[in-house]
Amino acid sequence: MSAQAGRQPDAEVHPGSAVHLGNPVTVDRYTAGARINHWITASCLVLLALSGLALFHPSLFFLTGLFGGGETTRILHPWIGVVLFVSFIGLFVRFWHLNLWRGADTTWIARLRKVLGNRDHEDPELVEIGKYNAGQKIVFWGMSILIIVLIASGFVIWDQYFSQYTNITQKRVAVLVHAIAAIIIICVWIVHVYAAIWVRGTIGAMTRGQVTGGWAWRHHRKWLKDLVTGRPSS
């Protein structure tokens, strides 16, 4: 049997989440649609990083071999960027309201040393976390801003379709902005992947869609309580 969460405006829950009794207790964290959306976005990010680095510096030009050569890489890179943007819009629509900043997030950041030292369970306030902790929210909003910067600057330097709308100075600025944003988003992506590996059981949430009740209680206790009670916990 399962306990389905009631959809409340301020709840740290999401449609499709449910708690299933058993041994062990399992909790639905992501729907199949959300997982597909996530992996399309992740795949695009990897492809863009590889193709972008290939075009960034001559020493990395060998990476164009992964895409069929330099000309093909130059053609594919912006189109993959468009797919990334559209895919991320799907993620944004799904999860933006779950990533709004709350008082508990400020506390989480202030006591980050305990979190990194794996001692957050010693502090009751650090375990009362909704579906996403402050670190995950920073990654979400960071990705959102950076993807907008990348798509906007990318259009400015996409000469095949937009050369007549911009001048040389604008293109030079856009190239610099695009490169800086790309480096930052690669770093954010690395942190995101590392954190997913570091917190045991996290990757399973995005591959199978479920976590154990113990995992939810250990890392996102408020979210679990909201699921069980069907209303936001105080």
Distance between CA atoms of residues 98 and 54, nearest Å:
36
The sign one gets for the Cα dihedral 82, 86, 89, 94 is negative
Same domain, 53 and 25: no
Range of the domain at 146: 32-99+136-207
**What's residue 63's pLDDT?**
95
Q: How many domains does the chain have?
A: 2
Same domain, 72 and 142: yes
Which helix (H) or strand (E) segment holds residue 185: the answer is: helix 168-198
**What's residue 232's pLDDT?**
54
Residue 121 has pLDDT above 90, yes or no: no
Q: For strand 210-212 and strand 18-20, is the pairing parallel, antiparallel, or unpaired? A: unpaired
**What's residue 10's pLDDT?**
42
Same domain, 145 and 200: yes
Residue 195: CATH number of its domain: 1.20.950.20
Same domain, 198 and 230: no
Residue type, 1: M
- 109 burial type by CB count under 10 A (0-12 exposed, 13-18 middle, 19+ buried): middle
Residues whose CB is less than 8 angstroms from the CB of residue 78 and which lie 6 or more positions away in sequence, other chains included: 154, 158
The sign one gets for the Cα dihedral 141, 146, 147, 153 is positive
Same domain, 47 and 92: yes
Greater model confidence, 65 or 230: 65
Q: Could you tell me the maximum CA-CA distance found in the chain, to the nearest angstrom? A: 64
Q: Given the residues 14, 77, 178, 192, select the one marked as catalytic.
A: 192
For residues 28-56, average pLDDT: 95
Same domain, 165 and 230: no
Same domain, 150 and 90: yes
Does residue 104 form part of some domain?
Answer: no
**What's residue 20's pLDDT?**
81
Does residue 118 form part of some domain?
Answer: yes
Supply the mean pLDDT for the chain: 87
Residue 230 has pLDDT above 80, yes or no: no
Is 192 a known active-site residue? yes
